[in-house]
Amino acid sequence: MNSRHFPKYALLALLTSAVVIPIFGNPALAQKRGGSINLGVELDIPGFDPIKVGVFDTSAQMAASLIFDTLTTIDESGKAAPKLAISWTHSDDFKTWTFKLRSGVKFHDGTRFDAQVVASNFARMKDPANKCSCAFYLQQIEKVEATDEFTVVFRLRDPSALLAEGLAPSFVTNVMQSAAAIQKLGDDYNRNPVGTGPFVLK
């Protein structure tokens, strides 16, 4: 394996996580624990840490959609639907959005997903000291604040009526990563990503 990249045209092996988020409580859509998936990628994957990679290319985004979760997803009608966030409201001017988060969710490393993790994910990417090229895509967001354990508030520079939909794709700026793992692993986190998704990287 290349010391800096996941091998080109290789199979990216992922194992199912012990933590599975039910999809809207529908028994027909319930996920079964166990098993693995091999993901064929067409490009080298430089890693998953936004500070290191800046943005995800097509291959990384495909893998990220299995390893990580986002706050929202898109339903069959093209509207935002709950995922890690269970509900949201916005101010009259669409510049302040409040998201209520799902409780009881844990990252693959056993640490808890909560509002502070969401706030720290965005603060880290926006911090000028980290020189993340991903910050360009977050210019609209002035600040993300954890107002209690499971409530997070997005304060925007300009109105956005589609913030909930915009947080759904598995872009590098949207996926929720373990703040504890980032702090513990340092530079090694890039190739050892920790999410809440249905699969973990082998």
Residue 149 has a pLDDT of 98
Residue 39 has a pLDDT of 73
One-letter amino acid at 124 equals R
The CA-based dihedral angle spanning residues 153, 154, 156, 161, taken in that order and rounded to the nearest 10 degrees: -100
The CA-based dihedral angle spanning residues 158, 159, 160, 164, taken in that order and rounded to the nearest 10 degrees: 100
Alpha helical stretches, state H, 32-84? 50-53, 58-67
Contact 107, 181 (CB under 8 A): yes
pLDDT in tens, the chain (202 residues): 333 444 433 345 555 544 333 334 444 455 677 788 777 777 788 999 999 999 999 889 999 999 999 999 999 999 999 999 999 999 999 999 999 999 999 999 999 999 999 999 999 999 999 999 999 999 999 999 999 999 999 999 999 999 999 999 999 999 999 999 999 999 999 999 999 999 998 7
Residue 37 has a pLDDT of 78
Q: What sign results for the dihedral spanned by CA atoms 101, 200, 37, 175?
A: positive
- Ordered by where they begin, the domains of the chain are 11-201 (3.90.76.10)
Residue 31 has a pLDDT of 61
Residue 30 has a pLDDT of 57
Across the strands, what pairs with 149?
A: none
Residue range 35-74, pLDDT digits in tens: 887 777 777 889 999 999 999 998 899 999 999 999 999 9
Across the strands, what pairs with 98?
A: 89, 153
Can you tell me the distance from the alpha carbon of 98 to that of 78, in angstroms, rounded to the nearest whole number? 21
**CA distances, 140 to each of 12, 13, 144, 190 (Å):** 34, 36, 11, 26
Residue 175 has a pLDDT of 98
